[in-house]
Amino acid sequence: MKNNNQLKIGWLYPKLMSTYGDKGNIMVLQKRCEWRGINVEIVPIDQSTTDKELQSVDLLFGGGAQDREQEIVMENLRSKKKVIKSLIERDVPALFVCGAPQLMGNYYEPAEGKRIEGLGIFDMHTEHPGPKEDRLIGNLVAQGYSSSEEQNDESRSSRLRSNNIIVGFENHGGRTFLGKNVKPFAKVLKGFGNNGKDLTEGVMYKNAIGCYLHGPLLPKNPILADYLIKKALEIKYKKKIHLATLDDSLEEKAKSAIAQRLGIRV
Ligand code: GLN
């Protein structure tokens, strides 16, 4: 399979932000593009990246990090606020996991030390209750909110897909609370999610998704990888894109097994 489509994927601070296998998300995006003949370039975004380079990405990814790394990252990320905001505002898709969305929110209050002002891309804030409080750890099963476009897609054969079940592994101290200008990414069926209280998991604004799901997320939920790839191509080439179907039967079996282990029938 070969086509002329190309994607440039920006990966935020790969050396400082990649906990619990988050790099696997990049690998899945790359592979699923390659299998369809879509050319991919992975661009690490860090201290040495110019605004022009950052401006040219078609899809953005940021993984998790511990509080100390988040502080270091933020010193540089602040200077990229304008460009990242303009990418998101022009509907470029993005996936931010755990530590990354915390920095894209209004602020993150770490376990110890000063409040970190975020980029304000997601209308939300996160507070860590302190080093002695329990972390929110474990497997999580959630139900995503599908768009009407997805609901009408008859090629989505399996019940897992049509039920929009998402699985992942969470491990965070921070508790996130959403403001009114954003929507949750999914509803918690099992696990903690944003704060262990309101059953929200993650956040969505335009085509940017923030969530607490490691594991990593995309190998376990390839439908999400395809959502990001499709959106990225559609925004870049300004036309409807149809992605060739791939065989995800093993991934679906794995997902079903973990959901059932946690008592969710799919
Ligand atoms: N430092 C953050 C927290 O504990 C993020 C952790 C992570 O990215 N895994 O809430």
DSSP per position, 147-212: -HHHHT-TT--SHHHHHTEEEEEEEES-EEEE-TTSB-SEEEEES-TTTSSS-EE-EEETTEEEE-
The residue annotated as part of the active site, out of 98, 125, 128, 211, is: 98
The model's pLDDT over 103-126, given as tens digits with 9 standing for 90+, comes to: 999 999 999 999 999 999 999 999
Cα–Cα distance between 195 and 177 in angstroms, integer?
A: 7
Least confidently predicted of 68-72, 140-144, 202-206, 262-266: 262-266
- Any ligand 1 atom below 6 A from CB of 127: no
- Any ligand 1 atom below 6 A from CB of 101: no
Q: What is the pLDDT confidence band of residue 145, given thresholds at 50, 70 and 90?
A: confident
Cα–Cα distance between 105 and 127 in angstroms, integer?
A: 11
Q: 38 CA distance to ligand 1 centroid (A)?
A: 33
Least confidently predicted of 46-50, 68-72, 143-147: 143-147
Cα–Cα distance between 149 and 32 in angstroms, integer?
A: 21
Residue with tokens 């969505």: 204
Respond yes or no: is residue 98 known to be catalytic: yes
The rounded mean pLDDT for the chain is 93
Residue 154 pLDDT: 47
Residue 147 pLDDT: 53
C-beta of residue 170 within 8 angstroms of C-beta of residue 150: no
C-beta of residue 233 within 8 angstroms of C-beta of residue 7: yes
Cα dihedral sign, 84-41-97-260: positive
Cα–Cα distance between 176 and 132 in angstroms, integer?
A: 18
Residue 146 pLDDT: 63
Residue 158 has pLDDT above 90, yes or no: no
Residue 157 pLDDT: 42
Share of the chain above pLDDT 70, in %: 93
In testing the pocket of ligand 1, which one of 69, 98, 195 has its CB within 8 Å of the most ligand atoms? Answer: 98
The residue annotated as part of the active site, out of 33, 172, 214, 242, is: 214
Query: In terms of Cα–Cα distance, which of 81, 22, 8 is closest to 211?
Result: 22
Respond yes or no: is residue 214 known to be catalytic: yes
Ligand 1: nearest atom to the Cα of 98 = 8
Cα–Cα distance between 107 and 121 in angstroms, integer?
A: 10
Cα–Cα distance between 124 and 33 in angstroms, integer?
A: 32
pTM confidence score: 0.94
Contacts 24+ apart (CB under 8 A), 46-53: 46/12, 46/13, 46/14, 46/15, 46/76, 47/76, 49/80, 51/80, 51/82, 51/83
In testing the pocket of ligand 1, which one of 23, 67, 125, 136 has its CB within 8 Å of the most ligand atoms? Answer: 67
Take residue 2 and report the two structure tokens written for it: 């070969």
Least confidently predicted of 34-38, 137-141, 262-266: 262-266
The model's pLDDT over 173-189, given as tens digits with 9 standing for 90+, comes to: 999 999 999 999 999 99
Q: 66 CA distance to ligand 1 centroid (A)?
A: 5
Q: Which residues contact 35 (CB under 8 A, 6 or more apart)?
A: 1, 246
